[in-house]
Amino acid sequence: MSYQFELTEQPAQPVLSMRTVTSVGNLPQALGKAYTTIIGYLEEVGEKPVDAAFAAYYNMDMENLDVEMGFPVSKPIAGRGEILSGEIPAGKQATCLYKGPYGQMGPAYDAMSQWMSENGHMPTGVVYEFYYNSPMDVPESELLTKIVFLLK
């Protein structure tokens, strides 16, 4: 399968998020709880997300996955309780739009890593995935995920 990679320079993006450590097996429940909690809070304060839900992966330990889950917002919004106010840092990003089941994204990650290496781009170690639709709404083969590597 061929993938299209893009290199962009992005401004800092305000977000509301929740961060946890979980196993990959419990990830769907963690994502669901975080997204539901944050959307409820956004509705309370009269705001809406400005882009798709995301998960930021700070490691790739499938038993102890350090993951931040949330939504980009139009401006910094104060957090509350488990909900944190933060940002996706400004800087260079390598991106790829992937279509298909979440469990089959490995080859896209491998191809991106090879492309970054061949083109002299150094990832920071943090990877974002933006989820443009949901397995509750479309077949797995139609899932759209933007993979974003932050670059040094």
pLDDT tens, residue by residue, 4-23: 999 999 999 999 999 999 99
Using the predicted structure, report yes or no on whether residue 1 has a pLDDT greater than 80: no
Domain of residue 60, residue span: 5-151
In this model, does residue 132 exceed pLDDT 90? yes
CB atoms inside a 10 Å sphere around CB 39: 15
Range 132-138 contact pairs with CB under 8 angstroms and sequence separation of 24 or more: 132/52, 135/102
Average pLDDT over the chain reads: 97
Give pTM, 2 decimals. Answer: 0.96
Structural domains of the chain, count: 1
Q: Which of 127, 120, 95 is nearest to 3 (CA)?
A: 95
pLDDT interval class at 90 (50, 70, 90): very high
Q: Give CA–CA dist 126/107, Å, rounded.
A: 18
Average pLDDT over residues 90-109: 96
- Which of 103, 92, 77, 79 has its CA nearest to residue 126? 92
Alpha helices, DSSP H, located in the chain: 27-44, 106-118
What is the pLDDT, as a whole number, of residue 2?
Answer: 85
Q: What is the mean pLDDT of residues 73-91?
A: 98
Residue 55: band (very low, low, confident or very high) from pLDDT cuts 50, 70, 90: very high
Per-residue pLDDT for 63 more than 90? yes
Task: Look up the CATH number of the domain holding residue 77.
Answer: 3.20.80.10
